[in-house]
Chain A
Amino acid sequence: MKIDHSHAHPIGMYLKTFAALLVLMVLTVVMAFVHVGPPESSVINNLIAMAIAATKAVLVVLFFMHVKFSTQLTKFWAVLGFLWFLLMFIMFADYTTRPREYIRGWEPAAEDPNAPAAMPQPPAR
């Protein structure tokens, strides 16, 4: 399938996308200070922030980067990149299923019964 890139898109498309991006940016800032969801947990706020950022990214990809008007092959690679990045989060399966263990220095010193008097320093070169 051949797509002729040499015909330009109307300028309005770029301007409208830009306007949407600015609006979403304002929304991002606002949502950081407006708490949503159960108290003491900012999970919903984080999800909203990421969802807005993802929407912005999608707008840039589709319109500024012309992926909406591109071939299947281009779209495939655009999607694959973000998908493969998400694949790396398999590593979380390790961190979330480890038994809670003590690592010196990672707890606040006051609470830690096993903390030494002073933080160990790396050896001098």
Chain B
Amino acid sequence: MKTEALHAAHQTEEQPLHHQFEEVSQQNESYVVGMWVFLVTEIMFFGGMFLAYVLYRWRYPEAWYEAHTRLDVAMGTTNTVVLLTSSLTMALAVHFAQLRNKRMHMAMLGTTIALACVFLVIKAFEWSAKFHHGLVPGPGFLWDGTVPMPQAQLFYSLYFGMTGLHALHVIIGILVIGTLALLTFLDHPLVKNDFIPTELVGLYWHFVDIVWIFLFPLFYLIPK
């Protein structure tokens, strides 16, 4: 078929070689490893907050359980499905970049961005509900539960801190994926015939997804 021949023709075009490298396989592996080293720094970055969370949860199990009941499990679960789906579409974007199918590549990037925006919208609803109920740490914190207020406030400090940091990474992800989509649309030399930038952005996005995979049960699904 004509489209297959077109794809085959594109695939024979060489992936561009950057000046500091000798071969394309060396170049590709270098970028992928470099991205993983960066993701290791991100793991350690989030790790500090995860550590604080685990510590205080171990110290105040009742407070953690009671405070978390004010979170909306339905919204959290929906967001999890949204983010997992966006991970799938991102992986497919890489797949189509490798096949040099520009139309599907961009469609998948666009879907990923759309899903990420849905995630943020749901998160915005969740957060505004918290503001409304006075569950924001600080002088305005209102607590009518049975556990001591400092402990409940601590839970919400970590909730806002960790989901906030995660949301910041989602926003950055949207900007980066958007930039990638734009460059792809313009056939910019940085991305033309080179699937690696998409792969690298994909690695970042999957990492953001993994953080949420842990945040979700830790905050929303605390067993009694």
Contacts and interface: CB of A to CB of B under 8 A. Distances in A.
Interface of A: 2-9, 11, 14-15, 17-18, 21-22, 25, 28-29, 31-33, 35, 42, 45-46, 49-50, 52-53, 56-57, 60-61, 63-66, 70-71, 73-74, 77-78, 80-82, 84-85, 88-89, 91-92, 95, 105-109, 119
Interface string B187-224: 00000000110010011001001100110111001111
A84 B43 contact: yes
B36 A64 contact: no
A46 B25 contact: no
Given A9-B95, A25-B80, A89-B51, A61 B210 contact: yes
In this complex, which of A5, A53, A84 has the most chain B Cβ atoms within 10 angstroms of its Cβ? Answer: A5
Q: What is the size category of the interface that chain B forms with chain A?
A: 35 or more
Interface stretch (B82-90, B116-124, B128-136, B174-182): B82-90
A6 B213 contact: no
Given A57-B214, A74-B36, A22 B223 contact: no
B92 interface: yes
B206 A60 contact: yes
A6 B98 contact: yes
25 contacts: A2-B26, A2-B29, A5-B28, A6-B195, A14-B88, A14-B91, A21-B84, A25-B84, A28-B216, A33-B223, A35-B223, A49-B221, A56-B213, A60-B206, A64-B90, A64-B206, A70-B32, A71-B29, A74-B29, A81-B40, A81-B43, A85-B47, A85-B50, A88-B48, A95-B59
